[in-house]
Amino acid sequence: MKTLTKAEEQIMQVLWKKGPSFVKDIIGELPEPKPHYNTTSTLVKILVDKGFVDFNAFGKSHQYFALVSKEEYSRSTLKTFVKGYFEGSYSKMVSFFVHDKSMNVNELDALMEMIEQAKKEKQ
């Protein structure tokens, strides 16, 4: 799956959150400073070309909607991240966050519960 620029990802976040939207609606959800209408329109057209977004035409207006789900993009991005920084090992990634003290005890406990639940489901 292709990667998104930060600006493209911001637009996708809006479409994932709000659903089908017109360019003016997308701009309304973006952080300050708000991009110009033409800039946003160009970015949305790039997303269409990349296959992330499609649209319904209403006369001269276009309502855009996501073709790729947030979960699908997250999964692909995370796999690429883990492969690039942790040799494809999720355990190395978790170990990094534990040693970096980026995960607190509650998060570690929750992760352990998920692991135990997954082990039970496989048996």
- In the chain, CATH 1.10.10.10 covers 6-66
Q: What is the pTM of this model?
A: 0.82
Tell the CATH topology of 6-66. Arc Repressor Mutant, subunit A (1.10.10)
> Over the stretch 27-86, which tens digit does the pLDDT of each residue have?
999 999 999 999 999 999 999 999 999 999 999 999 999 999 999 999 999 999 999 999
CA distances from 55 to 28, 38, 63 (A): 18, 17, 5
- In the chain, CATH 1.10.4040 covers 70-122
Query: Taking the domain 70-122, which CATH number applies?
Result: 1.10.4040
Cβ–Cβ under 8 Å, residues 40 and 23: yes
Name the DSSP letter for residue 3: -
The confidence band for 99, taking pLDDT boundaries of 50, 70 and 90, is confident
pLDDT at 118 over 80: yes
- Burial class of 35 by CB neighbour count within 10 A (0 to 12, 13 to 18, 19+): middle
